[in-house]
Amino acid sequence: MAIDYDRLMALDIPPVEQSYTVRDTILYALGLGLGRDPLDDAELSFVYEKRLKALPTMCCVLANSSWIRELDTGIDWVRVVHGEQMFRLHRPLPPAGRVTSKTRIVDVVDKGAGKGAVIFSERTLTDMDSGETLATLMHTIFCRGDGGFGGPARRSAPPPPHPERPPDIVCDRPTRPETALIYRLSGDYNPLHADPAVARAAGYARPILHGLATFGIAGYALLKSLCGGDPAGLVGMSGRFSAPVFPGETIRTEIWRDGAGASFRARVVERDAIVLTNGRAELAGRP
């Protein structure tokens, strides 16, 4: 069936609970490639249980909801792609804990028949023991097969532009051929990232890296370059996915400092392809 705008906007998405451990926190960081240099103390603090810290971007994978596939929405979920991701942390993530999340649909934009639809959702992540809100996340998905259902045809808000000058900081982070196979253990088991046959059927020569893995790798580049590796320094981040990454490629994060934090984008060095664009980083102590 097609999308029903009113029904989708009123959709009651069940909350999700998750208990995560030090092992999960370490595995998430390993999935982003941290720990390549065993003598790098800054990276070791995210992959070794002694003095362990959680990466800010890990909030994106905790208590995640699969409502698009699990609920009766009318969405052709096979053709859905991740468009944009944003998070804002209200306090640093603990390296282990119990969390719950609640997702709600914020808006649905009908781009027209044959042009798809855009769904904006908000997810609130809460510490189950203290009741404190840990993070607020915005998730934009592009439903390639669902336009023309008669919903609002208004335009989405334009993304923030990049500065015209050369970047102030460039940070290269190599990925390994098995990066997607490690990262998927943090909860996204889509076979597109592991099964060559599924990847070929989707039009790719081989499995691609998860978009949130690219997002997390860029997040660590920001943390390292702007915050001295302190997770408390990066309180918010957003970006738009523009192209896939193949495991084994190098992700270069280009960063522009400004008074409100920083702008950034990410490109694959080997193909000179922009893979994450219109990025913004919010830093602690900045407006």
Positions annotated as catalytic residues are 188, 193, 208, 211
Cα 113–117–119 angle (5° rounding)? Answer: 165
Closest by Cα among 9, 3, 8, 7 to 150: 3
Cα 32–chain centre separation: 12
Q: Which two tokens stand for residue 188?
A: 């996204």
**187 Cβ neighbours under 8 A, 6+ residues apart:** 61, 64
Beta bridge partners of 154: none
Residue linked to tokens 């059927």: 201
Cα 44–chain centre separation: 22
